[in-house]
Amino acid sequence: MPATVLHLNTERGWRGGEAQTLRLAQGLQARGYRNLLVAQPGSPLAERAVAGGLRVVPLSMRGELDLPAAGALAALLRAERVDLLHYHTAHAVSLGTLATLLAGRRRAVAARRVSFPLRGRLLGRVKYSFRVDRVVAVSEAIRRALVAQGLAAERVVVVHSGIDPERFASGDRARFRAALARLGDLPEGAFLIGTAGHLASHKGIDRFLEAAAQVAQEIGETRFVVVGSGPREADLRRAAEAGPLRGRVLFAGFQEGMPDVYAGLDLFVLASLSGEGSPAVLKEAMAAGVPLVATAVGGIEEIVEDGRHGLLAPPGNVPALARAIALLAADPTLRAGLSAAARNHVREFTNERMVERTEAVYRSILAAA
C-alpha cells in the first residue's frame, strides 16, 4: 500500500516555499504516494493545490502553539493513518510535533529553506531534533549553518528546490514590455534590467536601485523594473524617484506570468543581502536564458559559478554590483556565453530531481522505522 504523507504548511501567503510545497506534493502523487496537504483556509496554496488535483484539508492555524489546531491535526493523523509528516514551515514543525504527542509518533521531515540562524540556539536545536527524523536543507550553505548551530550532521540532508525549465523557455517578450509601457516610460529597444522577489529588507532591492543609479549615469537607454510586492514597496518607490533614476524605474507588482517577465528582460539581478537558500527566481531566469548578476550569499554560489553562469558580487557592495551590471550590459558576447552555460547548468535543478531526492529521504526514514 502506498505511503501516506501529510504535508503541513502554515503560511497564509504565496512565496517560494509554498510553490515548492505544491510541486513536491504533485510530484509525489505522480509517483504513487497518497498525499494530504494541510493548509490555511482560503490560502493561495490551498486553492492552487485543489486546482492541481491534490487533496487539501483546510485548517486554521494561529501560531506554532495553537492547541486546538494541534488537536485537529492529531485526529487527522489517526483517521488517515499517516505514515510520514513533512513540515514545510518553521511553525509547522512545532505544531506537528504537538500533534504527534497526542496521536503517537510518526516519522517526520522538516524543510529548512532560509539561511537565517535558528531562533534561540538551544530551542531551535530541540525544535528541529525532537521527533524530527531528517531536516531537508535546500542548500549546502544552510546544512552547514544548521550543523554549526548544533544539529547532528547525519540528520541534515541537502535537496535543492526545483523548477520546470521548459516552462520558462517560451515567454512572450513583447507582451511583458507592452504591459510595462502602460505603467511608464519604456522606449522601444531600451535595455531592460530587472529584479524580482518579496520586497523585504533582506532582499536588497534598495541596493539594486543604488547600483541602478550608477549604471543609469553610464548607459543612456536603460530602464529598470522591480517585480513583486512587500512591506518595503513604498520606501523603494520613493527611492526610485530621486536623482538619475527618476522616471526610469517601473514597479510591476506581483506577476503570475513570470516566463513573460524573463523574456522581456535583457539582464536579471538578484541583490539579496541574507537569508537565501536555493532561490527559484534565479533558476527561472537561468532557464529563460536571461544573463544574470547576483550576490554571493546563502546557497547562490551553489547555483551560479562566478564568470561561468553569471557574475557574482559581494552582498551589500553596491559599487561591485554596479560594475557587474555595467559590464554585462556593455558586452553582448559575454551575456550570450554566460546565459547559454546557465541554461544548460540549470537542468541540474529540476522538479523531477527535487522529488526524486526527497523520495530517497522518505524511503530511508520509513525503512528504518
Over residues 251-294, the pLDDT tens digits come to: 999 999 999 999 999 999 999 999 899 999 999 999 999 999 99
Are 361 and 285 within one domain? no
Are 239 and 133 within one domain? no
- Residue 258's CATH number: 3.40.50.2000
Cα separations in angstroms, 341 against 191, 295, 303, 307, 356:
22, 18, 12, 10, 24
Are 42 and 90 within one domain? yes
Are 26 and 105 within one domain? yes
Q: Are 127 and 93 in contact (CB under 8 A)?
A: yes
Q: How many CB atoms lie within 10 A of CB 295?
A: 26
Tell which phi-psi region holds residue 2, choosing left (phi > 0), alpha (psi between -120 and 50) or beta. beta
Are 41 and 187 within one domain? no
Are 132 and 220 within one domain? no
Over residues 217-228, the pLDDT tens digits come to: 988 789 999 999
Residue 127 belongs to what domain range? 4-162+350-368
Are 33 and 106 within one domain? yes
Partnered with residue 251 across adjacent β-strands are: 226
Are 225 and 298 within one domain? yes
Partnered with residue 140 across adjacent β-strands are: none
Are 364 and 338 within one domain? no
* Counted domains in the chain: 2
Low-confidence ranges of the chain (pLDDT < 70): 1, 369
Report pLDDT for 1: 52
Q: Are 93 and 87 in contact (CB under 8 A)?
A: yes
Are 67 and 215 within one domain? no
Are 306 and 218 within one domain? yes
Are 233 and 209 within one domain? yes
Q: What distance in Å separates the CA atoms of residue 21 and residue 15, rounded to the nearest whole number?
A: 10
Q: What distance in Å separates the CA atoms of residue 207 and residue 215, rounded to the nearest whole number?
A: 12
